[in-house]
Homo-oligomer: A and B are copies of this chain.
Amino acid sequence: MSPLVNPAYMGSMRHLTRVQFDRLVDRMSEVRVVDPRTVISRQDNPLEESLLLCKGLMGRYITDQGGERRRLVALQVPGDFVDLHSFPLHRLDHDVACVEECHLAVFKHADLLALMEEDADLGRKLWALTMIDASIHRHWAFRISAMRALERIANFLSEVEIRLAEDNTPVGDSFRMPLTQAELGEACGLSTVHVNRVLRDLREDNCLILRDGRVTVLDRARMQRVGGFDPYFLYPPQNVVVG
């Protein structure tokens, strides 16, 4: 088994107290290492366990009937449960897949149930985690609905920078962002070609550079201003510095 990476107290896990986090990790079944692009679960599959992302990026995807149009409806970063909503719902309305190689801590629903029975407050914290997830969904809907391409991309990258902050070993003013331009388009409701042009504009404006899976932030204030970015929707835990 030998979990190469154990769950770390980071990202959304910081909404739990340290004690609650340790109590949760005690219930973990195993850590799985999953290849890039692997589909973890598909729409309508019955699920009996939930997965905590320890390393790597994952996405949640909605595809239409024909299967030709696919959209990224959520991006999960280390410290996120990727399918905790399957605990109350049992089946999901979307697919879950790895963007890159991922390490996933497995929690059986039966074990989560037992844990919540002995710590009701932790149960409500887990509920709150799924509600922050929903807040992010609303923000995504707003972003796609109300913002133009340039603003969308700047806003999206501002969000990702904050959510990945703890996962990043800082390299100057850059952060890891392994989504391809096509995947960025799937997330922001834009064609690959247009994403490419917007990124050129942002680069030529000395705002940011996306290259080789890294975003180099040339002017953070500008990036967040261009993106009309307000991190409220992320419900940042108190002990994490934002902005």
Seen from chain A, the residues whose Cβ lies within 8 Å of a Cβ on chain B are 43-44, 60, 62, 64-65, 69, 71, 73-74, 85, 87-89, 93-94, 116-117, 120, 123-125, 127-128, 130-135, 137-142, 144-146, 188-189, 228, 230, 232-233, 235
Assess the B142–A44 pair: CB atoms within 8 A. Answer: no
Known contacts A93-B233, A127-B88, A233-B93; is-contact A62 B142 (Cβ 8 Å): yes
Residue in B88, B116, B120, B145 whose CB lies within 8 Å of A189: B145
Assess the A145–B88 pair: CB atoms within 8 A. Answer: no
Residue in B64, B128, B141, B233 whose CB lies within 8 Å of A228: B64
Residue in B60, B116, B131 whose CB lies within 8 Å of A130: B131
**Can you add 5 more A-B contacts, CB < 8 Å, to A85-B134, A130-B131?**
A44-B232, A71-B146, A85-B135, A116-B120, A141-B141
Which 10 A-B pairs have CB atoms at the shortest separation, nearest pair first? A145-B189, A137-B137, A134-B134, A88-B128, A62-B142, A88-B127, A141-B141, A73-B138, A93-B233, A85-B131
Assess the B130–A134 pair: CB atoms within 8 A. Answer: yes
For A71, A93, A127, A133, which residue has the most chain B Cβ atoms within 10 angstroms? Answer: A93
For A128, A142, A189, A232, which residue has the most chain B Cβ atoms within 10 angstroms? Answer: A142
Assess the B232–A138 pair: CB atoms within 8 A. Answer: no
A interface majority secondary structure:
helix
Assess the A228–B137 pair: CB atoms within 8 A. Answer: no
Assess the B235–A89 pair: CB atoms within 8 A. Answer: yes
Q: Would you mind naming 15 contact pairs between A and B with Cβ atoms under 8 Å apart?
A: A65-B230, A71-B145, A71-B146, A73-B142, A85-B131, A88-B124, A88-B125, A89-B135, A93-B135, A93-B139, A117-B120, A130-B131, A134-B134, A140-B141, A141-B141
Chain B residues contacting A139 (CB-CB under 8 Å) are: 62, 93
Q: How far is the CA of A139 from the CA of B93 in the complex (A)?
A: 9
Q: Which residue of B lies closest to A229 (CB)?
A: B65
Residue in B64, B69, B88, B128 whose CB lies within 8 Å of A131: B88
